[in-house]
A and B are shown apart, each in its own frame.
Chain A
């Protein structure tokens, strides 16, 4: 089986071809990040415009990269992210995907973007052992997910306010480090003193939900009283508090659920300190750690095609009148 995947939920325009056995035949990603940098975040209307310009060439490159005829590709289905995400961005990929499916007379598969992220580790470790505990953290989402098999997932906890990546962006903007905030804070944190600020532990209870909005407030208040602090010390203290919370909840989930491995997914999975902490936690508990490459952490269409492959294998297709669902939750995915 072979599936073309299309992803346009945020600022990445992506297309990929994935085959049975979780083999990536091609994966193309174009980002409109540069357009949004000056605004400190993704501007929906500009993202929609960029997707429209980019989607055709990106799909063409993905087909050619997989050695497929662009007018009659040997694929079994067209899979597309239909939510969650920015409505104006989702509509471009969804409209294009429907047109490709219609033109080539192939079925359409609706993929939840978050479920797509859960399939990313499989593409780099096809022999992944289950059950798997995945920490999915990005600019839009932060959640802990237990997977018993590919496509069988249970959300154990999620953020009650900001996403982890969103907290990075807010602190980085406040520190004047630009957008996105993850890379500069991760870099600066290596030179700073993580104990410079005494930040309270967020969500100290036994529950598995996360919270990041109080952290920013605490950082701003404490730095106001400490004008002597350098940016690196603030970055290090903030990052230590974020990673501490993520690892504490991961460890909490491990106490309740028996798993074979830990996986990271989402853009925050590129964070160096978080990766190190997850490897250490996995080693301590005798578990496998699956740290995706940067390409597989961030939004891409290979993960959408992979999830689409799983749905197509079950004959789970979508009609041509499919709507985009900007708030589609992972719990609602069958």
Chain B
């Protein structure tokens, strides 16, 4: 199977290609230049693997939550690649990628996956790492709320750039352990997306009305 995975929900831009079990990864970290870097990264992966784009059978894309512009670059790219080649399109979430990555790193028990949502908030979802199943729905929360949840748990692992950003508030809480995993690992998207049912993929914004709220505020001022 020839699968391409795309991950652009944080400031990093990543793509991974699997061809008959061989995985290659391209990650450009911390630049927020998704528009410029994503397509060349994909072209380079295909080129090095000696594959033509039309040979792709499946495109897996991180649909968020995360940075809105990054998500749209990733989704627009993935959608168009799938449409253009006839490859199947599959969506995964940035939070489940963190959970998969945490499990791969050997973490056990309860995981809180935290993606930096800016403006003093995080996108958060809990996972049971024994089965990598979600404990709740993904949502946007203030770090103080996350801290309360950490205190309510006997022990937990924290992962994601949201955990890193608010480490002062979260990492020293009793029972908390901060994992060195900031970016949703793109290779995990290959693993999760391989067997998932394909179909249309919608972005997971989780802050649907934000722009509208801002606009109303600006209009009043």
Contacts and interface: CB of A to CB of B under 8 A. Distances in A.
Do the two shown chains form a genuine complex with each other?
yes
Contact of B212 (A46, A48, A95): A46
Contacts of B78: 99
A59 B80 contact: yes
Contacts of A53: 202
B53 A52 contact: no
Contact of A102 (B35, B39, B214): B39
A321 interface: yes
- Main secondary structure, interface of B, reads helix
A69 to B, nearest CB: 10
Max chain A Cβ within 10 angstroms of own Cβ: one of B72, B77, B80, B86? B80
B80 A99 contact: yes
Nearest to A72: B54
Max chain B Cβ within 10 angstroms of own Cβ: one of A39, A87, A96? A96
Nearest to B75: A52
A53 B40 CA distance: 24
Contacts of B75: 52
A312 interface: no
A103 B43 contact: no
A248 interface: no
A152 interface: no
Given A70-B83, A105-B53, A99 B72 contact: no
B14 interface: no
A310 interface: no
Nearest to A320: B39
Interface in A57-76: 59-60, 70-72
Given A45-B68, A88-B69, A94 B81 contact: no
A60 B35 contact: no
A93 to B, nearest CB: 8
A99 B73 contact: no
A95 B85 contact: no
Nearest to A106: B84
B199 to A, nearest CB: 13
B35 A94 contact: yes
B105 interface: no
Given A96-B79, A105-B53, A91 B72 contact: yes
B88 to A, nearest CB: 13
A48 B35 contact: no
B42 interface: yes
A91 B40 CA distance: 15
Interface in B80-97: 80-81, 83-86
A4 B104 CA distance: 43
B79 A321 contact: no
A43 interface: yes
B36 interface: yes
Nearest to B73: A95
Interface in B30-44: 35-40, 42-43
Interface in B184-218: 202-203, 205, 210-212, 214-215
23 contacts: A40-B219, A46-B211, A48-B69, A52-B203, A56-B79, A71-B54, A71-B84, A91-B35, A92-B76, A95-B73, A95-B77, A96-B77, A96-B79, A98-B38, A100-B80, A100-B83, A103-B54, A104-B84, A319-B40, A320-B39, A320-B43, A321-B39, A323-B36
Interface of A: 39-40, 43-46, 48-49, 51-53, 55-56, 59-60, 70-72, 87-88, 91-100, 102-105, 319-324
Interface of B: 35-40, 42-43, 52-54, 68-69, 72-81, 83-86, 202-203, 205, 210-212, 214-215, 219
The 8 closest A-B pairs by CB, nearest first: A45-B211, A99-B80, A103-B84, A95-B76, A98-B39, A96-B80, A320-B39, A103-B53
